[in-house]
Amino acid sequence: MSGMDDLFDTFEFPALTAGVDEVGRGPLAGDVVTAAVILDPDRPIAGLNDSKKLTEKKRLLLAAEIREKALSFSIARASISEIDQLNILQASLLAMKRAVETLSVQPRYVLVDGNRLPKWTYPAKAMVKGDSRFACIAAASILAKVTRDAEMDALAVDFPQYGFAKHKGYPTRDHLQALRDHGVTPFHRQSYAPVRKIIEECGL
């Protein structure tokens, strides 16, 4: 995306700035997945953008390029049980913290998509719509989405009746109907109201 790198440069963040983003707050099933990426200024990647604005084919191509060219990247998660125990916001922040802490090259600064920061010691800033404003956050959003989508595709093989490959766990009409017809799997978030309601209705 032309302009993104220019915008990133104008803020003059320190070298070794990591971008962080999460995917999977809204779905009824699966982990919340986060990624942290430190890009290499000497190996620019054309076409970075918010993962939601890219086609699946483009995301897959960019994800491979990010893995090849980034100075460092890490993918982390918070589990379904952690989401149910902590709530989705706290679980997402925990997953972000894990992603940054496991970078092989530790950042001097961190840019996080959104309006909340994890509890950590890194100098950092939360940036609303950061995945469409900063290349490093866009790269993180792509890695996180490609990773989570692949996991939901794999889940669809074991539970074909739920349509995970199509809706990726989000509360679509078909997903909700599948829950009513087939019940709740161990991969569903029982703290989420639509899942909890079906559990109560079925007396589970």
- Domains by residue range for the chain, with CATH: 4-157 (3.30.420.10)
- Given a cut of 50, is residue 32 above it in pLDDT? yes
Q: What is the pLDDT of residues 44-94, one digit of tens each?
A: 999 999 899 999 999 999 999 999 999 999 999 999 999 999 999 999 999
Tokens 């679980």 correspond to 91
Q: 156 pLDDT band (50/70/90 cuts)?
A: very high
Per-residue pLDDT, 55 = 95
Q: What is the CA radius of gyration of the chain?
A: 18
Q: How far is CA 27 from CA 33, 108, 142, 152, 190, in A?
A: 11, 32, 17, 11, 12
pTM confidence score: 0.92
Q: What pLDDT is recorded for position 54?
A: 94
Whether 202 has a pLDDT exceeding 50, the answer reads yes
d(CA 146, CA 107): 23
CA distance 180 to 9: 50
Residue 1 has pLDDT above 50, yes or no: no
Output the pLDDT for position 204.
Answer: 56
